[in-house]
Amino acid sequence: MSILINASALPNIPWEPRPKTDRGSSPLWRYSGNPVIPRDLTAHSNSIFNSAVVPFKGGFAGVFRCDDTSRRMNIHAGTSANGINWSIENNPIDFIKCRDDQPDSEYKYDPRVVFVDDKWYVIWCNGYKGPCIGLGYTDDFKKFYMMENVTMPFNRNGVLFPRKINGRYAMLTRPSDSGHTPFGDIIYSESPDLEFWGRHRHVMSPAHFSQSAWQCTKVGAGPAPIETSEGWLLFYHGVLTSCNGFVYSFGAALLDLDKPWQVIARSRPYMIAPQESYELCGDVPNVAFPCAALADGATGRLAIYYGCADTVTSLAFGMVDEVADFITRNAL
């Protein structure tokens, strides 16, 4: 049975039991109050989605992708007492550059937040001559510092691991192209210092469409990997290409704790696919895209935040042991 490792108790994790009517085909279920963050929560937001939430000082803090009504993409800080009702800043985070000569950012989107060593690191898709992976940190969710970009363009879906592995920082990314990339594998990279990166290793490719079509066009890491007794639990999104465009769903994989580029098992079925109206309709129809997960070390409860239709943010719940078990029993 899978047990969370290095996970504190989080008694106030957002939670709701599985509905009685649920047929049980997935280890996850949706929150009945979805979406939890509406598109117009801030003064000028067009949409709030693909956002990162962490426990912070007894409540919750987060970094949120807010596209404004010019459809400019940026990331904003926010806080919540219960993880469900949020207060998000009207203005984007105003990062302080660690060094003066760092390049500017044309846009920022799809942040993840993870605590490593002693800081909250924010990692996002950063606009510098194309999408690449930006990195920054904060101690208080008020002052944010921006470090060097951790990759060249073209890259998206960068995710840090919550601790060093084999003495080095570790990261997953998804190399891309300059547009709506129709391919995408997950790659693992290491760094001694979070600035210089190497030892790139391939982690996973899309599946064959006859085996698992929801993830047959591209795959990308979702929330930061969660350490369990069975391996790193990685929720990841997959994309199917219908005649009417991309469909984003998500499932999960277990990665080797010491060699995270080795996939122990990976779910053939999706866990959440766009089926509710707030997932089917919006700025980009048919998108369910996870960027953050809370875990309660005491109970194994998981609360996953995922963007819906590139418009709003929702919550799904599950138990870590059931998720891990599902992956193993339904491995690709």
Site for its own copies in 83-122 (CB under 8 A): 103, 106-107
Rank residues 54 and 288 by Cβ distance to its own copies and give the closer one. 288
Question: Could you report how far apart the first and last alpha carbons of the chain are, in Å?
Answer: 20
C-beta of 83 vs 238, nearer to its own copies: 238
44 sits near its own copies (criterion: CB under 8 A): yes
177 counts as binding its own copies under rule CB under 8 A? yes
x/- mask, its own copies, residues 265-304, rule CB under 8 A, reads ---xxx--x-x-x--xxxxxxx------------------
Please state, in angstroms and rounded to a whole number, the distance separating the CA atoms of residues 47 and 68: 7
Q: Closest distance between its own copies and the C-beta of residue 12, in Å?
A: 29
- The 244-263 contact track toward its own copies, x by CB under 8 A, reads xxxx----------------
Contact 252, 221 (CB under 8 A): no
Asked if 138 and 156 touch (Cβ cutoff 8 Å), the reply is no
CA angle 160–163–164, rounded 5-degree value: 95
Question: Which of 81, 73, 83 shows the shortest CA–CA distance to 50?
Answer: 73
CA–CA distance, 249 with 240 (Å, rounded to integer): 8
Report, in Å, the least distance between residue 54 CB and its own copies: 25
Smallest gap from Cβ 10 to its own copies, in A, equals 29
Helix H, strand E, coil C: the string for 131-151 is EEEEEEEECCCCCEEECCCCC
Q: How far is the CB of 157 from its own copies (least distance, A)?
A: 13
**Binding residue for its own copies (CB under 8 A) from 14, 27, 136, 153?**
153
55 binds its own copies (CB under 8 A): no
Distance CA 303, CA 172 (A): 21
Closest CB to its own copies among 163 and 200?
200
